[in-house]
A = this chain, B = another copy of it.
Amino acid sequence: MNDPIIQCLTDTDVYKFNMMYLVWKLWRRTLGESAMNNRSRRVRLAEIIPEEALREQLDHALTLRFGSEELEQLESFRLEDGRPQYSSEFVKHFLADFQLPQYELKKTADGQYDMRFPGTWAQFILWETLAMSIVTELRGYYTLAAEGKKMADLYDEGRRRRDAKIERLNSYPGIRFMEFVTRRRYSRDWHDELVGELKSGLHHDQMTGTSNVWLARKYGLKAQGTQAHELFMAYARLFGNDPATVRHSQNRVLQDWWDLYGHSLSIALTDTYGTEFFFRMMTPEQARLWKGLRQDSGDPFVFGERAISFYRKHEVNPLDKLVVFSDGLDLDRIIALYERFSRLIQVAFGWGTNLGNDLGIDPISLVIKLVQICGVDCVKLSDNLAKAIGPPELVAFLSEVFGYTVGLSEECRY
């Protein structure tokens, strides 16, 4: 491969900047580490992607700086009340001087890459989607190359499937989704074309925005996102081991987020330590104030019911609130969820892998997650223990602390 996969630092999700700003503001010097995990162990990435090719792409990302157009775009973001989303010190000093910190890479005995991003949280936080886009595209490229094919050879099939999605969506003018494709996209070029085609092909503004800052700029779309597990994972470990304090840490995420962004970005991610815990932790006042919730693991139909009963319990009309479904969606599931819930609660979809990597190669379940913060290991439980991350004894401790009861509620999808 010759072309750089990552050509600008805004070719990432806007929520990474939202989280980065919080981390920079409140945890500026805090160190930690994130690491890649390929949950599709059968796909032996280190036997598919040559290490040299991978390093070349990562090294190119290291050379990137924010351009003036990108800084202007980020500085132009406004909250609902007209305040700038980010301070000018953040954009003009921190981002203007920013470069990605060094990565660590080695091959493992079982044919995977051990890829790590140690350093200052406020810096390595930006690696996540960039590295995932790189690995995902390289995996496609070299998988096809081994069969004597090129990436573009699948475009016909990809376009057929994409256009079928667009056509079908046009029968559902009420469906609202954000494209969350970036990290698992087939390729940069494919992603670019896809967003353009979605914009022109959908007749009813079904696509409310894109998570990708670069493509938002290119296509005049709204850059949209919520928040990720890493905030909840870090907060759970940054305040010591007293169970009450650890539990309280999760609400601190919501408080700190609200202090920065208020109502504008008030969609809470619910599943880091199990959705049952989340519904106990969110206060009635927060239930009233926050726009809504994001569902990212477990059974979305069960979640929808629980969200509705949660709001009713707090005397909030569910139709004033929004649920964003973002876990392993395809169009069948989107339509089923839309038809099941849209008359009861507002629904939106964060549509990723199946929207942007549906050309014939089975996508892999790749993540880059926080594994350590300030010297201690990190854990994620989620509503699906196949997605759990962290050392077993710590998983056990935090399961106890958070009263975690949800088991392996569905088969592992990949």
Interface residues, chain A, with chain B CB atoms under 8 Å away: 25-31, 237-241, 252, 256, 372, 374-376
Give the contacting residue for A375; candidates B26, B27, B31, B239; CB below 8 A: B239
Give the contacting residue for A26; candidates B29, B239, B252; CB below 8 A: B29
Add 6 more A-B contacts to A27-B30, A375-B376 (CB < 8 A): A28-B28, A29-B252, A31-B240, A239-B375, A241-B375, A374-B374
A29 to B30 CA separation, bound complex (whole angstroms): 10
A256 to B30 CA separation, bound complex (whole angstroms): 13
- Nearest Cβ distance between residue A98 and chain B, in whole angstroms? 16
B27 touches A28 (CB 8 A): yes
A252 to B375 CA separation, bound complex (whole angstroms): 17
- Nearest Cβ distance between residue A165 and chain B, in whole angstroms? 42
Which residue from chain B places its CB closest to the CB of A29 in the assembled complex? B26
Instruction: Indicate how many identical chains form the complex.
Output: 2
Q: What are 13 A-B pairs at a CB distance below 8 A?
A: A26-B29, A27-B27, A27-B29, A28-B28, A30-B30, A30-B238, A237-B375, A238-B375, A239-B375, A240-B372, A241-B375, A374-B374, A375-B376
- Nearest Cβ distance between residue A244 and chain B, in whole angstroms? 13
A375 touches B240 (CB 8 A): yes
A256 to B372 CA separation, bound complex (whole angstroms): 23
Interface of A is mostly: loop
Which residue from chain B places its CB closest to the CB of A22 in the assembled complex? B29
- Nearest Cβ distance between residue A273 and chain B, in whole angstroms? 18
- Nearest Cβ distance between residue A401 and chain B, in whole angstroms? 14
Contacts of A28 in B (CB 8 A): 25-28
A374 to B372 CA separation, bound complex (whole angstroms): 13
- Nearest Cβ distance between residue A351 and chain B, in whole angstroms? 33
- Nearest Cβ distance between residue A357 and chain B, in whole angstroms? 36
A240 to B32 CA separation, bound complex (whole angstroms): 9
Which residue from chain B places its CB closest to the CB of A234 in the assembled complex? B29
Contacts of A240 in B (CB 8 A): 31, 372, 375
A374 touches B27 (CB 8 A): no
Contacts of A237 in B (CB 8 A): 375
Most buried by B among A26, A237, A375: A375
A139 to B238 CA separation, bound complex (whole angstroms): 37
A238 touches B26 (CB 8 A): no
- Nearest Cβ distance between residue A148 and chain B, in whole angstroms? 46
Which residue from chain B places its CB closest to the CB of A28 in the assembled complex? B26
- Nearest Cβ distance between residue A390 and chain B, in whole angstroms? 16
Contacts of A27 in B (CB 8 A): 27-30
A365 to B409 CA separation, bound complex (whole angstroms): 60
- Nearest Cβ distance between residue A344 and chain B, in whole angstroms? 37
B31 touches A239 (CB 8 A): yes
A241 to B374 CA separation, bound complex (whole angstroms): 10
A-B pairs, top 6 by smallest CB distance, nearest first, are A26-B29, A26-B28, A240-B375, A374-B374, A31-B239, A27-B29
Which residue from chain B places its CB closest to the CB of A122 in the assembled complex? B26
B31 touches A374 (CB 8 A): no
Which residue from chain B places its CB closest to the CB of A33 in the assembled complex? B240
- Nearest Cβ distance between residue A131 and chain B, in whole angstroms? 22
A29 to B28 CA separation, bound complex (whole angstroms): 9
Which residue from chain B places its CB closest to the CB of A252 in the assembled complex? B29
- Nearest Cβ distance between residue A358 and chain B, in whole angstroms? 41
Contacts of A256 in B (CB 8 A): 29
Contacts of A25 in B (CB 8 A): 28
A238 touches B29 (CB 8 A): yes
A240 to B372 CA separation, bound complex (whole angstroms): 10
A66 to B25 CA separation, bound complex (whole angstroms): 24
